[in-house]
Homo-oligomer: A and B are copies of this chain.
Amino acid sequence: MKKLEEKILKDGKILPGGVLKVGNFLNQQIDTPFMKEMGEEIAEMFKDTGATKILTIEASGIPIAVSAGFAMNLPVVYAKKNKTSNISGDCYSTMVHSFTHGNNNNVIVGKEYISSDDKVLIVDDFLAHGSALVGLIEICEQAGAEVLGCVAAIEKGFQMGGDKLREKGYRVESLAIIEEMTDTEIYFREQ
Residues on A lying within 8 angstroms of B by beta carbon are 23-24, 28-33, 35-36, 58-59, 62-63, 66-67, 69-70, 73-78, 80, 109-110, 112-113
Contacts and interface: CB of A to CB of B under 8 A. Distances in A.
B80 A59 contact: yes
B69 A30 contact: yes
A28 B113 contact: yes
Contacts of A58: 58-59
Main secondary structure of the interface of A (DSSP, over half): mixed
Contacts of A80: 28, 59
Nearest to A109: B28
A78 B66 contact: no
Contacts of A35: 66, 70
Contacts of A78: 28, 30, 59
Given A66-B30, A66-B32, A23 B75 contact: no
A146 to B, nearest CB: 18
Contacts of A113: 23-24, 28-29
A33 B76 contact: no
B75 A66 contact: no
